[in-house]
Structure 1
Amino acid sequence: MSRVVIFGAGGRTGRCLVDEALAAGHQVSAAMRTSVPLPGVESIVADLRDPASVEAAVKGQDVVISAIGPSGRKAMGLYSAAARALVPALEASGGARLIAITSAGVRRDDPSFKPIYRVLARTVMKEAYDDMRLMESIVRSSSVDWTFVRPTRLQDEPATGTYRVQDNETPEGGWQVTRTDVARFIVQEIGKRQWSHAFPTLAE
């Protein structure tokens, strides 16, 4: 059993992560800007733009999971702000590991992308993907043990178990994956530690 804190636990992917982590027997805390009671979970009030609250949330944890995301398409610097708060908190924790969700879209030149998604990566989603890349860069420049999970288009469907994973490259022909499959992959990775300092990219 690991002590796991999930930032963004109130979101759609975050709630899947909470369910999967609890089912796997982990001790789960949910870090959110406002306290929302979740069954079986310790609720921690933490704002990623407030480093002190982030450090308090990370203290004593074995694994920190970031499932954060802006409410709209505009990132508003959320990902990079999270990195700037999480890195010192993780370094001060004495060994907590970071597993963070970004997106396969950060590789805007990925030849496996459908043409429409390459266009979106350079236009509508450009700000969000740029901020995700900055988050990854900040964390990679630190001493933190990190994994960046890069799902393709997230679907609100039941898990299929048929997704594929490649490091820093979208599986050929893949363009979507369910949130529950992503959550299960991350929770399995807590114990396996197979993808440390890697970019597992998930797609069906």
Structure 2
Amino acid sequence: MRITVFGATGGVGQEIVRQAVAAGHEVTAVVRDPARLPVLLSDVQVHAAAGLDDPEALREAVAGRDAVLSALGSRGRKADGVAERLTRSVLAAMEAEGVRRLLVVSAAPIGPRPADDPLVDRMVRKVVGAVLKEVYADLTRMEAALAGSATDWTSVRPPKLTNGPLTGKYRTEIGGSPRGGRTISRADVAHAMLALTHDPAAVKQGVGVAY
């Protein structure tokens, strides 16, 4: 499979690149600074982009790909619209090149929660939601952009991310979130994204992932 990875220097993005290469996929990593991608291997193609706001500059990176995986987003509490803005740029480049499959990292609070979630989880979500209000608002707008696009998109919605190991043992729920799911490692989020790439049931859906 030929894939392009955006946000390849972040925690999830590096894992996507590493695991995709190990699985034998042809990988293009889109980065601003190649020196920030420590998982660079001889068989990883690097597309250096000074910025991601210009769809025309991204068309070469996505042309002819079977799938595009994006881990773009805010790295702090101040989102500044980065997820929505950059995802719209990626969408425009993909639509211009006729590339359809797109998977992005979102967050569990963007999707519906089980009605029977434990009380402590509901309380924690309320507190975290207040702290990360701008980030979640940005991701909500990003998902709206996905829904309005011509792509076959999937939004992967993890809860709290950790630096734990790849286990391959986690729960997924299409259109919802696993009950009581509180954490998942970045490595397993990457694993889930690669696995969902070929799942037709996940197309145009949000998918909750958690332990």
Using structure 1 for the length normalisation, give the TM-score.
Answer: 0.91
Cross-structure match for 2:44: 41
Cα distance in structure 2, aligned partners of 1:88 and 1:129? 22
User: What amino acid does structure 2 have at the position aligned with 1:101?
Assistant: V
Q: Relative to structure 2, which stretch is displaced further, 107-116 or 173-182?
A: 107-116
Unaligned runs of 5+ residues in structure 1 are none
Whether contact under 8 Å (1:108, 1:118) holds in the other structure is no
Cross-structure match for 1:116: 124
Cross-structure match for 1:70: 74
What is the CA distance between 1:109 and its match in structure 2?
A: 6.8
Cα distance in structure 2, aligned partners of 1:164 and 1:129? 22
Cross-structure match for 1:14: 13
Cα distance in structure 1, aligned partners of 2:3 and 2:154? 15
| Residue 186 (structure 1) aligned with residue 193 (structure 2) | yes
- 87, 108, 112: which one pairs with 1:104? 108
Identity of aligned residues (%): 35
Deviations 1:57-91 (A, max 9, x none): 21222211111122322111111112221222111
Cα distance in structure 1, aligned partners of 2:58 and 2:103? 15
The equivalences for 1:125-140 within 5 A come to 125-140=132-147
Q: Relative to structure 2, which stretch is displaced further, 18-27 or 192-201?
A: 192-201
Cα distance in structure 2, aligned partners of 1:152 and 1:71? 15
Cross-structure match for 2:174: 167
Equivalences, count: 202
Unaligned runs of 5+ residues in structure 2 are none
What is the CA distance between 1:192 and its match in structure 2?
A: 3.6
Cα distance in structure 2, aligned partners of 1:54 and 1:81? 14
Question: Over the residues paired in the alignment, what is the CA RMSD in angstroms?
Answer: 1.8
Using structure 2 for the length normalisation, give the TM-score.
Answer: 0.88
What is the CA distance between 1:188 and its match in structure 2?
A: 1.7
Aligned partner of residue 29 in structure 1, secondary structure: strand
User: What amino acid does structure 2 have at the position aligned with 1:12?
Assistant: G
Aligned partner of residue 4 in structure 1, secondary structure: strand
